[in-house]
Each structure stands twice: as C-alpha cells, then as structure tokens.
Amino acid sequence: MDTENLGTSRGIGIGSFEPDEFAVFEGGIETGRAFAELPFDHLLFTGSTRVAKEVSNSAAKNLTPLTLELGGKSPALVCPGANLKRAAERIVFGKLANAGQICIAPDYVFVERAKFHDFIELLQTYIKKAYPRLNNNPDYTSIISADHFSRLNRMIEEAREDGAEIISINPDGETLEPSARKIPPTLILRPNPTLGVMQEEIFGPILPV
C-alpha cells in the first residue's frame, strides 16, 4: 500500500475504533502470507488474482473461509441499434473516471465493423471535450503507483510491438513527466486477444476497441 493510502487507513481508525478493533499492518507479500496463516474465523481479500492465490494457499492451512473480490475483464457491447454518440459519451465517462482506476470501468469495447471508424472518432471527440488538458487537471488523476504506471506502459508497448494501432489522446500536446505518473487516454484498436491488455484487468486509461 502506498504512503497516501496508509495515511488514509490510519486516519480512519483514529478516534473511531478501539486499538483491538482496527489496525493497519504494513508490508509486502511475506507480511500478507503470515497474516493469512493466522487462525481467523473469516478473511476478506480485495486485489489481484495472483495475490489471491497466495492468500488462499496460506489460509488453507487453517481451513479459514475466504471472500475474494478480484479483478477481471468487464466488456462494453455497443449493439447495432444503439445511439452511437450516447454510447461513446457514456463509455468515455465510465472509462476515464479516476483515470480508469475503478473496478466498474469498462475494460474493452465491442462495436460492429460498419460503425467502427465512426465510433473511434466519437470516442476521441468526447475524450478531448472531457479532458482538454491533462497536466494540472484535477479531473484527470495520476496512476496510483510507480509499479502500476510501469505495468500500464508495458501493456501499451506490447500491443504496439504486436502491430495494434495505438491512439494516444493528448489534446494540448503537453509533456507528461514520468514523475507525475499520468498516462494519456489511450485507444488500442483491434488488439490480439492474447495480449496482456486483453487478458488482465487494465485498471487505467487504456481502452481496447
């Protein structure tokens, strides 16, 4: 967990809970593994499938029941009779809220071939309208961590190297410093379904179509 989120978590507990009711433990996979091996009555885990497997293995030693809320793929389907403008506008809104870092963001889009190019143009129009600037824009946030920033950039580069068309939408042509961890809204057109961007939850401002 990054420093900002740790501070928020600690702040929740101050003055609201007794010390034996709420606690924050810092650490990596070893801490998480040791925590999951404790004989709890029940464990709830929110996160990636990869880490969930580690948690499940550790909890199995005590047959601790688990509730897992994991990442996955959430496609949007634009039906032939749909209002294309409305669909594009709503998908842009849902995809780019918090720079795509919400669990209910559409992960990729299906649209019929006959309307593909019109839909791509509409997506770009609504993205530019919603986010005319990316730097110093409180409505277009940074990526949550350096690791996740690198992961998203690797997804884009993998798709580019595989031959997918990449459209990076930076309306004002701004220079985005890596330290700011901002990735422009990015469309990946007709990606190979075996690519990481089509196999893993994206959790960022990248939209395969």
Last residue of a domain, one of 43, 70, 97: 70
Clarify whether residues 174 and 91 are in a common domain: yes
Residues 6+ apart with CB under 8 A from 36: 43, 54, 55, 58, 59, 64
pLDDT score recorded for residue 2: 54
Helix axes 49-59 and 29-36, enclosed angle (nearest 10)? 40
- Average per-residue pLDDT in the chain? 92
Clarify whether residues 11 and 107 are in a common domain: no
Clarify whether residues 52 and 100 are in a common domain: no
pLDDT, tens digit, 9 for 90 and up, residues 39-63: 999 999 988 888 899 999 999 999 9
Clarify whether residues 47 and 86 are in a common domain: no
Clarify whether residues 90 and 61 are in a common domain: no
pLDDT, tens digit, 9 for 90 and up, residues 57-105: 999 999 999 999 988 899 999 999 999 999 999 999 999 999 999 989 9
Clarify whether residues 101 and 9 are in a common domain: no
Point out which residues pair with 77 in neighbouring strands: 110
How many folded domains does the chain comprise? 2
pLDDT exceeds cutoff 80 at 19: no
pLDDT score recorded for residue 66: 96
Last residue of a domain, one of 52, 70, 88: 70
Q: Of 4, 26, 103, 112, which one is the catalytic site residue?
A: 103
pLDDT score recorded for residue 7: 61
Q: Are 72 and 184 in contact (CB under 8 A)?
A: no
Q: Are 198 and 109 in contact (CB under 8 A)?
A: no
- Annotated catalytic residue 103: yes
pLDDT score recorded for residue 3: 54
Nearest in space to 92 (alpha carbons), one of 122, 112, 132: 122
Q: Are 153 and 183 in contact (CB under 8 A)?
A: yes
Last residue of a domain, one of 48, 70, 92: 70
DSSP 205: S
Clarify whether residues 32 and 115 are in a common domain: no
pLDDT, tens digit, 9 for 90 and up, residues 116-165: 999 999 999 999 999 999 999 999 999 999 999 999 999 999 999 999 99
What six digits make up the tokens of 199? 């196999």
**What's the domain range around 83?**
75-208
Q: Give the integer Cα–Cα distance in Å for 192 and 209.
A: 11
Q: Of 18, 26, 37, 69, which one is the catalytic site residue?
A: 69
Clarify whether residues 32 and 110 are in a common domain: no
